[in-house]
């Protein structure tokens, strides 16, 4: 049977990982500044995480949400402590798209309204509502096209306020990434997020903070929206939550009330997924990873800014992006082929760095040295 061919891939087979390094089937070691697309939060095969999953598997891997699963409450308690959202409620699912799908559905249930505001450059996933709220028509099927999602320009407070003035009574929610990831590491300004908060308050709409990529400690605070000093009504989470074990969820503000049947899932919140997610939070706390994210992130950003060839170095913590001018367009491929360093990209010419949150100065310096060397090699070749 053939695999359904939807991914352009690198011709590399990874067979082993440890910390911020992975090895291919020929024994070559790679440094991972991509984190499997912002998923690896505590490093590959962290011993505490591996032990927790193995132990849980020996006890029980899965039973459905029709019985008590105390691990879910343990996870909720840890999340409350680490995120600071003590009075929020937790609903567990399996992926980022599913988290956003549930968030938007819940906003509509809660308000009895239909319209969701999303923004230019947004990526929210590939399921029905999530892909409709994603600003990329090429990944939306005809069936996904709906008048219920309205796109407005990102970071444009005036257009948003004007839209609320004329349509406020129809708006169920506003969904926004604190830092757009797929869109190229573009940060929502604090005043834009504050405006969303006050408009949602004024018109009774639900503020949905898509934290699937920019959340879970990646930017030096638990949610990147926290940098703006606001509280969202719903936070969606996935990627770093399970360090590779599929798990997603939404944190829901106390004024939004649950009703039986409103949301549901077969696999969401299963024993094994909870064990993985609890282990991730334990490591994050014990190893003070949010602090490390800030420290190493600041170091990397400062150093990258000192490299003239790179343009618009931006981001927060360990969610960093920069533009690569045309003359250096081979940089990302050379880093992978010659220096064995994985990085992420965003179209058309952005390199994204999304490493594990426990990356150290050693890995940061390895990357910086490789970038500087590749750039000077390109410059030397061009001057010949």
Least Å distance between CB 166 and ligand PLP? 28
Least Å distance between CB 1 and ligand PLP? 24
210 binds ligand PLP per the rule CB under 6 A: yes
The one segment of 26-34, 209-217, 293-301, 368-376 that binds ligand PLP by CB under 6 A: 209-217
Nearer of residues 43 and 248 to ligand PLP, judged by Cβ: 248
Nearer of residues 226 and 328 to ligand PLP, judged by Cβ: 226
Least Å distance between CB 325 and ligand PLP? 25
Which three-class secondary structure string do you get for the chain? Answer: CCCCCCCCCCCCCEEEEEECEEEECCCCEEEECCHHHHCCCCCECCHHHHHHHHHHHHHCCCCCCCCCCHHHHHHHHHHHHHHCCCCCEEEEECCHHHHHHHHHHHHHHHHCCCEEEEECCCCCCCCHHHHHCCCCHHHCCHHHCCCCEEEECCCCHHHHHHHHHHHHHHEEEEEEECEECCCCCEECCHHHHHHHHHHHHHHCCEEEEECCCCCCCCCCCCCHHHHHCCCCCEEEECHHHHCCCCCEEEEECCCCCCCCCCCCCCCCCCHHHHHHHHHHHHHHHHCCHHHHHHHHHHHHHHHHHCCCCCEEEEEECCEEEEECCHHHCCHHHHHHHCCCEECEEECCCEEEECCCCCCCHHHHHHHHHHHHHHHHHHHHHHHC
Nearer of residues 71 and 238 to ligand PLP, judged by Cβ: 238
Q: Which of 32, 177, 226, 294 binds ligand PLP (CB under 6 A)?
A: 177
Least Å distance between CB 126 and ligand PLP? 6
* CA 41 to each of CA 13, 33, 280, 354, 363: distance values in angstroms, whole numbers, following the listed order: 21, 11, 8, 9, 15
213 binds ligand PLP per the rule CB under 6 A: yes
Size of the site for ligand PLP (CB under 6 A): 14
Least Å distance between CB 352 and ligand PLP? 10
- By rule CB under 6 A, what string of x and - marks binding of each residue 243-262 to ligand PLP? --------------------
218 binds ligand PLP per the rule CB under 6 A: no
Binders in 78-137 for ligand PLP, by CB under 6 A: 95-97, 100, 123-125
* CA 113 to each of CA 151, 171, 206, 264, 342: distance values in angstroms, whole numbers, following the listed order: 17, 6, 10, 21, 44
Is the separation of the CB atoms in 130 and 99 below 8 Å?
Answer: no
**Residue nearest to ligand PLP according to CB distances in the complex:** 96
Residue found by looking up tokens 């913590």 in the block:
317
Least Å distance between CB 125 and ligand PLP? 3
Least Å distance between CB 177 and ligand PLP? 5
Q: Which of 131, 230, 238, 324 binds ligand PLP (CB under 6 A)?
A: 238
Least Å distance between CB 237 and ligand PLP? 10
Nearer of residues 125 and 317 to ligand PLP, judged by Cβ: 125
Nearer of residues 111 and 236 to ligand PLP, judged by Cβ: 236
The one segment of 177-185, 308-316, 342-350, 366-374 that binds ligand PLP by CB under 6 A: 177-185
183 binds ligand PLP per the rule CB under 6 A: no
Nearer of residues 210 and 233 to ligand PLP, judged by Cβ: 210
Q: How far apart are CA 121 and CA 182, in angstroms?
A: 8
Least Å distance between CB 127 and ligand PLP? 7
Binding site for ligand PLP (CB under 6 A): 95-97, 100, 123-125, 177, 181-182, 210, 212-213, 238
């Amino acid at each position: 049977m053939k695999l359904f061919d939807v991914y352009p891939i690198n011709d590399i087979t990874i067979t082993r990982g440890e910390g911020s390094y992975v090895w291919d089937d020929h024994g070559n070691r790679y440094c991972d500044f991509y984190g499997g697309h912002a998923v690896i939060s505590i490093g590959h095969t962290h011993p505490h995480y591996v032990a927790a999953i193995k132990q849980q598997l020996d006890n029980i891997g899965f039973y459905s949400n029709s019985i008590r699963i105390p691990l879910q409450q343990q996870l909720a308690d840890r999340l409350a402590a680490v995120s600071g959202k003590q009075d929020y409620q937790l609903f567990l699912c399996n992926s980022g798209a599913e988290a956003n799908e549930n968030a938007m559905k819940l906003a509509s249930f809660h308000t009895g309204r239909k319209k969701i505001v999303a923004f230019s450059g947004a990526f929210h996933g590939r399921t029905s509502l999530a892909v409709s709220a994603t600003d990329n028509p090429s990944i939306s099927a005809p069936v996904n096209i709906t008048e219920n999602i309205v796109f407005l320009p990102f970071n444009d407070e005036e257009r948003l306020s004007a839209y609320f003035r004329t349509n406020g009574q129809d708006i169920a929610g506003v969904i926004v990434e604190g830092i757009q990831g797929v869109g190229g590491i573009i940060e929502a300004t604090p005043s834009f997020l504050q405006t969303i908060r006050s408009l949602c308050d004024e018109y009774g709409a639900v503020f949905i903070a898509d934290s699937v990529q920019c959340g879970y400690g990646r930017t030096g605070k638990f949610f990147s929206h926290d940098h703006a000093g606001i509280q969202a009504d719903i936070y969606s989470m996935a990627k770093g939550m399970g360090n590779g074990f599929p798990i997603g969820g939404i944190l829901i503000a106390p004024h939004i009330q649950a009703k039986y049947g409103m949301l549901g899932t077969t696999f969401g919140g299963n024993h094994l997924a909870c064990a993985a997610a609890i282990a991730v939070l334990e490591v994050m706390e014990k190893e003070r990873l949010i602090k490390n994210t800030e420290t190493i992130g600041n170091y990397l950003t400062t150093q990258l800014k000192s490299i003239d060839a790179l343009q618009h170095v931006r981001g927060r913590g360990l969610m960093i992006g920069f533009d690569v001018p045309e003359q250096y367009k081979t940089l990302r491929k050379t880093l992978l082929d010659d220096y064995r360093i994985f990085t992420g990209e965003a179209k058309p010419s952005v390199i994204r760095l999304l490493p594990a949150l426990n990356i150290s100065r050693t890995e940061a310096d390895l990357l910086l040295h490789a970038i500087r060397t590749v750039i000077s090699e390109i410059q030397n070749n061009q001057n010949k």
